[in-house]
Amino acid sequence: MNQAVQKNTLYVGGLAEEVNEAILHAAFIPFGDIKDVKTPLDQATQKHRSFGFVTFLEREDAIAAMDNMDGAELYGRVLTVNYALPERIKGGEQGWAAQPIWADADTWFERQQQEEEMQRIQAENRAAMEAAEELHRKKMAQEREGEKEDDTETKVDPMAMAEAEALKQNSS
Task: Give domain status of residue 90, yes or no.
Answer: no
Q: Are 53 and 38 in contact (CB under 8 A)?
A: yes
**Residue numbers of the domain that contains 15:** 9-83
Dihedral (Cα; 113, 118, 121, 125), 10-degree rounding: -160
| Confidence at residue 90, expressed as pLDDT on a 0 to 100 scale | 53
CATH of the domain at 67: 3.30.70.330
Which regions of the chain are under pLDDT 50?
A: 1, 94-96
What local confidence, expressed as pLDDT, does residue 78 receive? 95
Indicate whether 76 and 121 sit together in one domain.
no
Q: Is residue 43 part of a domain?
A: yes
> What is the tens place of the pLDDT at every residue in 35-68?
999 998 888 888 888 999 999 999 999 999 999 9
What is the pLDDT, as a whole number, of residue 170?
Answer: 79
Q: What is the pLDDT, as a whole number, of residue 47?
A: 86
What counts of helices (H) and strands (E) characterise the chain? 4, 6
User: What are residue 53's DSSP bridge partners?
Assistant: 11, 38
Count structural domains, the chain. 2
In a domain, 133, yes or no: yes
pLDDT on residue 153 = 56
Could you tell me if 79 and 119 lie in one domain?
A: no
Give residue 102's pLDDT.
60
Residue 61, domain member (yes or no): yes
